A and B are shown apart, each in its own frame.
Chain A
Amino acid sequence: MGSSSKKYKEKECRKRRHRSPSYSEEHEPPKEKRHRHKKHHRDRKREKPKHDYESDGSDVVEIIPDDEPSGSGQNSESLSIDETNKLRAKLGLKPLEVHTSEKSDKKRDDGKKKDDWGEFYHKPAENWADKAEREKLRAKLATAKEKRQMELKMNRVKTLGDSDSDDNVENWVDKNRKIDLAKKEAEKRAKMLEELDEQFGVSEFVENEKREKRRQQYTEKNLKGLRVEHDIDSFAEERDVVLTLKDKAVLDEDDEDVLVNVNMIDDEKYRKNLENRKKRIVYNAYDDQEYDKYGNPIDKSLLSQYDETIDGEKRESFKIGHDNIAERRQAAVQSIKEKLAKKTLESIETKDLKLASEYYNDEELAKFKKPKKKVRKIRAKGKLTADELEQQINNKGIEEVGSRRPKIKPDFEDLNIDDVPDIEIPTDVKLEDDKDDILEKALHKARKIKQKENLVAQILKETPVKTEPEEGLDNGNIVLNATAEFCRTLGDIPTYGKSGNREESEDLLDYEKELKNEMEVDQSDEEEKTGWNSVDPNEPHEVAQIAPQEVQILDEEPDVSTGLGAALKLAMSKGYLDKEQMKRPSNSRLAHLQAKHYSIEDKTYGDEGERGGNRRERYTGPIMEFKEKDTFKPNVKLEYIDDDGHVLNSKEAFRYLSHKFHGKGPGKNKIEKRLKKSIQEQLMKKMSSTDTPLGTLNMLQAKQKETQSPFIVLSGNKQSQSTVISKTRR
């Protein structure tokens, strides 16, 4: 404190010295100073007092408290330690710890640094060099300690060189003898004790106890029936395995104890992990059979990979005592047997080497030979007659008759019925070998015809009238029958089947054509007798067949002769009769039944006078009860008429209204289409029922009248026509 005050004084002095005379009171000098200053003003001449001030000022200054942090010139009192202690004693406090403070002072000097504000001590930073040195020292000490300990240990053990006590034989013998003696003595003592025990009956007691203990011991017998949750093969023979009771949940209800070995469980887990790590692909695209490690096929259930997660793991287990060795052995044998059964034995011997020949020998050839087809007799003969054919077919039966579908057959037959007399099966037909199918078809046809022929013959025999068609047959002349001709024309409709709805018949036609081509050579002389003819322009007598064929343009006309209904229908379709869709007596038609003197006024409540009279009633409403008019049945006929005056049906009416409503008419195309349709409809109604719209029939008739012939030639040039005409005239 003293030092600090001295410092302060010096500072003050310096300040004084530097101060200019104009230095004002801003600095807040102490009271005494101020006072002195005035004095100074008072007697300027006196220079001494300044010095005085300096000298006795020092006393004053000493009284003035040394530190003035706030710069205010206030007193601060401070008691000495003793005084403080006294005071503290009075207040009941412990005395000041002067010593500790000194210590702390010392500490402050010892490298501990205060921070900038002088309030806090900082922990000095660690000296890394010191630390390293300390570490080194510690390590050194540790090694030294270890060395010492090692040495101590080594000292305890006798080295070979050091041992001197056993070197001596006598010593060694003595030692051994001593040991022997000790042993003998111990034995003797044990005997003596035993004798003593026997005397007192202790030994028996002990023996009994031992027996009892043995009885109570937990032995193999107790283990019988316990289940071990491991594969029996996993236990190596002649080795002890410690089994423990498996952990069970406390709340588990089955009481069975299960023995396991921890190591084996670990092994199993490991194996399973390995298996999992292999990442077997479960999906078996081709459903291949899988085999176990013994090569036996595994039966797999559906989605067997999830069996374990659903049903829980299957664990191999066996029971102690229940020896099922025999069973297992049998199973093993069985598996081996199965395996062997599946194996194909292969010999090591190889075949003898042979010189390869370029040709097959007989055996090999036999292998390659095709199964021979049944050789028909026809072929052998080369020629065949109808009788033979028939016989053959009858023998063969129906199933071999042909590939043609039965559906078509009747058609086929019908077509040929009338041709029956024309056809005679040629007896001298030569058939190619490779046309077996075609031949068969022909045979079938022939057979059919023959049968028909027989049938017809029978019928003819039965009937008394004899037309003798067979005679004509025999002669080979053509007999034209009216009905036959008609039927032929029917059958020969050229458009028949052209529309695509009769494929089968189309097929048939194709087939027939082919057949014809095949047989044309042989049958050329009989060609006109068949139902299916190729048109030969060179032959004039064919013309008649083609002419009267008509293409159907109109719908089928209802037959008027069947009844009135049909006639009406015809009339309706022709437009002679207007179809009235909703035939109801209209109001206009029933007008004569309506009241003559009827006006709307009648509907009102009455005349004005009346109305005025019961004006109140008007507001109360009608007094009379409202009665439904039972007899009132109005005739309502809704009819829509378009701008042209056509009556519209409901659909058209809707369209018309809709167009009106939306203010947007139909498009140009639509309008045209509708117009066309209506025109066509009208034309249809006007059309004559007996002629085509172009009047062809009329023209035809006119022409026929002109030419005076029942036919007309459509094709050909003028010349030919003239010739025909001339012919007819002749």
Chain B
Amino acid sequence: MIEITCNDRLGKKVRVKCNPDDTVGDLKKLIAAQTGTRWDKIVLKKWYTTFKDHIQLQDYEIHDGMNIELYYQ
């Protein structure tokens, strides 16, 4: 289990517990459940890389305690 912090710098900051083998889509759903936004409106970024839904977190080398930028589309 890893815990990831997602921050949209607009007042929402969520810590989400998830597995490393979850996909980014799964993470988005969890975030959506916690923040109350629709998951398909969420965009996750780290610097300029936009994470794609079908790829696992471990493949993006997302580890415990990492911060991910949260955007909306």
Are the C-beta atoms of B1 and A88 separated by less than 8 Å? Answer: no
Chain A nearest Cβ from B12, distance in angstroms: 7
Report B1-20 CB contacts with A as 1/0, cut-off 8 Å.
Answer: 11101010101111111110
Q: Known A81-B17, A91-B29; judge A119-B1 contact (CB<8 A).
A: no
Q: Which of B46-65 contact A (CB under 8 A)?
A: 61, 63-65
Q: Are A93 and B65 in contact (CB under 8 A)?
A: no
Please tell me if the beta carbons of A119 and B13 are within 8 angstroms of each other in the complex.
Answer: no
Contact A118 B65 (CB under 8 A): yes
A77 adjacent to chain B (CB < 8 Å): yes
Known pairs A70-B7, A87-B33, A118-B65; A97 contacts B19 (CB<8 A): yes
Out of A72, A78, A98, name the residue touching B1 (CB < 8 Å): A98
Instruction: Kindly state the separation between the CA atoms of A78 and B34 in the bound complex, as whole angstroms.
Output: 8
Cβ-based interface call for A79 (8 A): yes
A31 to chain B, nearest CB (A): 12
Across the interface, name the chain B residue whose C-beta is closest to A121. Answer: B63
A84's contact among B12, B17, B61, by CB below 8 Å, is which?
A: B17
B19 CB contacts on chain A under 8 angstroms:
94, 96-97
Closest to A68 in B: B13
Q: State how many angstroms separate the Cβ of A71 from the closest Cβ of chain B.
A: 11
Q: Which of B9, B11, B29, B34 contacts A79 (CB 8 A)?
A: B34
Q: Do B30 and A91 have beta carbons less than 8 Å apart?
A: yes
Decide yes or no: A69 and B66 within 8 Å by CB, A77-B15, A94-B19, A97-B19 being known contacts: no
B66 and A79 form a contact (CB under 8 A): no
Option from A69, A79, A100 in Cβ contact (under 8 Å) with B17: A79
Count A-side interface residues using an 8 Å CB cutoff. 28
Question: Which residues in B have their C-beta under 8 angstroms from that of A88?
Answer: 30
Q: Roughly how many angstroms separate A65 CA and B11 CA in the complex, as a whole number? A: 13
Which residue of chain B has the shortest Cβ distance to A66 in the bound complex?
Answer: B15
- Other-chain residue from B1, B5, B61 in contact with A97 (beta carbon distance below 8 A): B1
The answer to whether A101 touches B5, judged by C-beta atoms less than 8 angstroms apart, is no
Residues of A within 8 A of B65 (CB): 118
Task: Evaluate contact between A78 and B14: CB separation under 8 angstroms.
Answer: yes
Cross-chain contact of A75 among B13, B22, B26 (Cβ < 8 A): B13
| A78 contacts B7, C-beta separation under 8 Å | no
Using A70-B9, A118-B65 as known contacts, say yes or no to A81 and B1 having CB atoms under 8 A apart.
Answer: yes
> B66 — which chain A residues lie within 8 A by C-beta?
119
**CB-CB < 8 A to A74: which residues of B?**
7, 9, 11-13
On whether A65 and B13 interact (CB within 8 A), knowing A96-B18, A118-B65, the answer reads: yes
A97 contacts across to B, CB distance below 8 A? 1, 19
Which residues on A are within 8 Å of B, measured CB to CB? Answer: 65, 67, 69-70, 72, 74-79, 81, 84, 87-88, 90-91, 93-94, 96-98, 100-101, 104, 118-120
